[in-house]
């Protein structure tokens, strides 16, 4: 197994690096063992052939399902729906203005030069790390908005109003926990009390 992993890591034919990773064999021994047991082995070759034939048979007999995609709504920019969607552009699945929209500005003047001191290089790397964490936070917020269906607020409010008063109160109370349990589980919980 170690030889297979070394070949996968270093690439087929790169026997010197494979031997360096194996530590106990020369490059000739690694190549000879690999060729004998994996390439020129009739049992291994027939197993691969059977797997390939089984895969071809499986894919040839099954039809590819076709599902029509829903074209996202494209409200005009000055419409009420566009305002309610808070700058969300459905065709691009993105927002006009991002969370922490000016995060990139911190990087605009950074140039990595070879004659930078170690401290200056470390400082620049810290700025890049901070930028990376800001991007991760931006993506996390987008995911929450999409997963919980918070883009179209009017649709969200209409669904909320269809519940009786007691369930609406429960919904309002439990809303803060939706982030923890996830949108589907949260909706199931609310529906079970409706």
Helices and strands of the chain, counted as H and E runs = 10, 2
Task: Specify whether the CB–CB gap between 92 and 72 falls below 8 A.
Answer: no
For 152-172, letters b (16+ CB in 10 Å) and e give beeeeeeeeeebeeebeebbe
Domain boundaries, the chain: 2-59, 80-162
pLDDT tens for the chain, residues 1 to 194: 787 788 778 877 788 888 888 888 888 888 888 788 777 776 665 665 565 666 666 555 555 565 555 555 566 666 666 666 667 777 677 777 888 888 888 888 888 888 889 999 899 899 999 999 999 999 998 888 777 777 766 666 776 777 788 888 887 787 777 777 777 787 788 778 76
| SS3 label, residue 88 | strand
pTM for the model stands at: 0.47
Q: How many residues appear in the chain?
A: 194
Instruction: Give the Cα-Cα-Cα angle 33, 35, 39 (nearest 5 degrees).
Output: 135
């Amino acid at each position: 197994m170690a030889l297979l992993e070394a070949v996968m890591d270093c690439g087929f034919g790169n026997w010197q690096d494979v031997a360096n990773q194996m530590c106990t064999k020369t490059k000739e021994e690694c190549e000879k063992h690999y060729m004998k047991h994996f390439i020129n082995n009739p049992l291994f070759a027939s197993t691969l052939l059977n797997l390939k034939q089984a895969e071809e048979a499986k894919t040839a007999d099954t039809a590819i399902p076709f599902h029509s995609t829903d074209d996202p709504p494209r409200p005009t920019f000055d419409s009420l729906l566009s305002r309610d969607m808070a700058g969300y552009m459905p065709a691009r699945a993105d927002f006009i203005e991002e969370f922490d929209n000016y995060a990139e500005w911190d990087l605009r003047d950074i140039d990595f030069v070879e004659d930078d001191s170690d401290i200056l290089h470390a400082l620049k790397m810290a700025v890049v790390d901070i930028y990376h964490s800001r991007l991760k936070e931006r993506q996390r917020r987008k995911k929450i908005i999409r997963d919980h269906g918070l883009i179209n607020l009017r649709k969200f409010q209409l669904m909320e109003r269809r519940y009786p008063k007691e369930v609406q109160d429960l919904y309002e109370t439990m809303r803060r926990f939706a982030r923890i349990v996830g949108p589907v589980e949260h909706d199931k919980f609310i529906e079970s009390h409706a």
